[in-house]
Structure 1
């Protein structure tokens, strides 16, 4: 009989230091799917658009770790964080720092919806954009409560998104 080992964030960081493309979710280590061209281009495009739209009002982190809880440390594709950058000199971002989180999903769509979104909602991340490459839609998940997002908007590529934290800002995502 096999024994399953669950990691804390501290044990995960020690055991998997330098190992690329792994995440800790509820104590379990997941190897992330390889990045394909559409995923790569979408992340780079959204990073650039968010940086231009938000300027100095926020920080945009690309594929960086988020200390979600004692047993979860995902690496979302993009995080819009509270500034200044120096606040992260001695620690990783936590849910209280996140203004918007973005996951780009193709082969990972079901995993992102069923595993990651509930974790983000439980942690109180106010807004998550799930770029659904399979259907070419932006799923905007807002207002977390009891491990679920209470509002879900579906946007087509022609429709710009407005982050909750910056309602005056329009971001073309498609």
Structure 2
């Protein structure tokens, strides 16, 4: 008996197929599993959070809460629904001030997203940022801890951010939707 390939002749034409998850299916199957997010139907394991990353997020949460009070809901390391197939977990989301008991926030609720990148800069800029632009998130900050730079992305149009500004240490950031509110970043 002549065999073709490892599994024999009946498997010679079988092909591996990629499986894409919907948001509801992802939430059902991955509920309670930490460190995963859904981006365009694919499940990604996120980088572990180290002490420097955690401290920066904690500082920014405090600064946003103090600066904005009840003008925005500070939503740290929680999911945001971006249909049809994404549920990222940005490090910080500033949301419209309302309760989210019934449903996770969606793109329409997001005022600003912040990603803190210690080892995830390429992932944040090349995978998540385009998704945020396609979802019309008005502003995204990517804090690059290795270079100590804050990248501010604004004005999404046709799936890309048309404005990109780099802030250096000592420069305060001003959220687009909160003119006059200055936020120090680490």
SS at match of 2:60: helix
Structure 1 residue ranges (4+ consecutive) displaced by more than 6 angstroms after TM superposition: none
Task: Tell me which residue corresponds to 1:146.
Answer: 158
Give the C-alpha shift of residue 168 in structure 1. 1.0
Task: Tell me which residue corresponds to 1:90.
Answer: 102
Determine whether 1:100 maps to 2:133: no
Alignment of 1:27-38 (within 5 A): 27-38=41-52
Task: Tell me which residue corresponds to 1:6.
Answer: 20
Give the C-alpha shift of residue 170 in structure 1. 0.1
Task: Tell me which residue corresponds to 1:42.
Answer: 56
Task: Tell me which residue corresponds to 2:7.
Answer: none
1:155 pairs with one of 164, 167, 184: 167
TM superposition score normalised by structure 2? 0.91
Give the C-alpha shift of residue 2 in structure 1. 2.8
Give the C-alpha shift of residue 3 in structure 1. 2.4
Alignment partners' CA distance in 1, 2:119 and 2:60? 19
Alignment partners' CA distance in 1, 2:50 and 2:30? 23
Determine whether 1:165 maps to 2:156: no
CA deviations 1:61-101 (Å, max 9, x no partner) are 0000000112000000000000122xx11110000000110
Alignment partners' CA distance in 2, 1:19 and 1:118? 25
1:63 pairs with one of 77, 96, 103: 77
TM superposition score normalised by structure 1? 0.97
Task: Tell me which residue corresponds to 1:131.
Answer: 143
1:111 pairs with one of 106, 112, 123: 123
2:88 pairs with one of 74, 92, 107: 74
Alignment partners' CA distance in 2, 1:84 and 1:146? 29
CA RMSD of aligned residues (A): 0.8
The higher radius of gyration belongs to: 2
1:15 pairs with one of 19, 29, 39: 29
Count of residue pairs the alignment pairs up:
172
